[in-house]
Amino acid sequence: MANAIANFFKSITGQQQTDIDSVIKNTENVTLVCKGCSAETSKHQLLKNNMICPKCGKYFRMGGKERIKSICDKKSCKEMFDNFESVDFLNFPGYAEKLEKAKALTNEKDAVVCGTAEINGCEFAFFVMDSRFMMASMGSVLGEKITSIFEYATENNLPVIGFTASGGARMQEGIISLMQLAKVSGAVKRHSNSGNLYITVLTDPTTGGCTASFAMQGDIILAEPKALIGFAGRRVVEQTTKSRLPDNFQSAEFLLEHGFVDAIVQREKLRETLSNLLYIHSKTGRGGKA
């Protein structure tokens, strides 16, 4: 009976009443190799350390649910719009196979996880892009899910925290992919016009159309240390400007120096930082809905 009620609730709201924490399990026997120092560490241990190498401090890229677990109050996360799924509507060669491979790798239907959660009791809506799913390229489903979470946040007077990571447009969906920039940007604007807060956290890598639209539209823009952030690649920019670019070009540190990022926040301090920002900007003084 309980399952039937939960399924009915999900069917009419698109919201999943399960704890995201419970999805992350059985990781003790999974070993990952650090690209910085080549040390081998169990994923279970890395998750306890915010996916930071205990040997050299290099950041591992995080999946959507892993990211949410690291910052949110326990059992506060509710996933939404998880029934949206990409399809090969253009019959693009090889796309169907790539989608199936990405789904198997991430256990997700597309490259973004959306929902609501709390940090120290402050409620907010979120989207988290997962670079493991076709480099979090912007397809129709990714754009629709992010648009939907902004519309939900606008209707319910909630702030939005977005974790960006993308390689740009998803070429297998043609012009439909490029349309996502305008669609999401429109939803961001309506959310802003309603007086709601939008915080973006730029993670490695945030590039292409994602950077050119909703990633840089936050009221407050944070970034993880040494994250790659940019639009076109270094070679294209150098050829266009006919100039030699500095070695740290398109790094989080370079963007902070030039005013495109408000702050660089270490991963272990991100929960506290976001909690403080939500509290400061809350109309109630508690971080919840007005």
- CATH class (in words) of the domain with range 62-280: alpha beta
Distance, in Å, from the CA atom of 122 to the CA atom of 214, rounded to the nearest integer, reads 23
Question: Which region among 29-33, 34-38, 89-93, 227-231 has the lowest average model confidence (pLDDT)?
Answer: 29-33
CA dihedral in degrees (269, 123, 276, 143; nearest 10)? 60
pLDDT at residue 278, rounded to an integer: 95
Q: How many CB atoms lie within 10 A of CB 2?
A: 6
What tokens does 281 get?
A: 């900007």
Residue with tokens 């129709």: 140
Q: What is the CA radius of gyration of the chain?
A: 19
Which of 254, 250, 225 has the alpha carbon at shortest distance from 235? 250
pTM of the model: 0.86
Which of 62, 100, 80 has the alpha carbon at shortest distance from 20? 80
**98-135, pLDDT tens digit by residue?**
999 999 999 999 999 999 999 999 999 999 999 999 99
Please say whether the beta carbons of 159 and 124 come within 8 A.
yes
Strand ranges inside 130-219, DSSP E: 160-166, 198-206
Question: Which region among 56-70, 78-92, 206-220 has the lowest average model confidence (pLDDT)?
Answer: 56-70
**148-203, pLDDT tens digit by residue?**
999 999 999 999 999 999 999 999 999 999 999 999 999 999 999 999 999 999 99
